[in-house]
Amino acid sequence: MQHDIYSLGACLLEIGLWESFIRYDETGKQAASGTVPTNGIGTNGVAHPLNTHASLLTLAKNKLPKHMGGNVNFSDEREFADEDGIIVGVKYVEKIIMQLNTISM
């Protein structure tokens, strides 16, 4: 489930920034996007997952708010962590549903 949440987050980040993280050149070969730093690329041509994760977090914290606007309801990550300190996506969903329920139609 955490992998699904991570993937959804990466997709939403692309939408929020209105920029794809994967680009292709005119021949159809994958090219660097320029958005996600490519430092830490291994000899196999794949970025180390922790480097990619850190880059995506940096984008979400620094670049995304300029495009989407800030939201104080999600500023404290500890509110969404379980007893082991692992952030749980279900709590994000619950918080969003609670906010939606306060909107009167």
d(CA 46, CA 23): 15
Give the CA angle between residues 99, 68, 64 to the nearest 5°. 115
Specify whether 9 is located in the same domain as 59. Answer: yes
Specify whether 25 is located in the same domain as 50. Answer: yes
Residue (of 65, 84, 83, 86) closest to 74 by Cα position: 65
pLDDT of residue 71: 64
Specify whether 78 is located in the same domain as 52. Answer: no
Specify whether 1 is located in the same domain as 52. Answer: yes
Residue 13: domain span = 1-66
Is 55 in contact with 14 (CB distance < 8 Å)?
A: no
Give pLDDT < 70 ranges for the chain: 32-48, 69-77, 85-87, 104-105
Our count of domains for the chain comes to: 2
> What does the pLDDT look like over 91-100, one tens digit per residue?
777 777 887 8
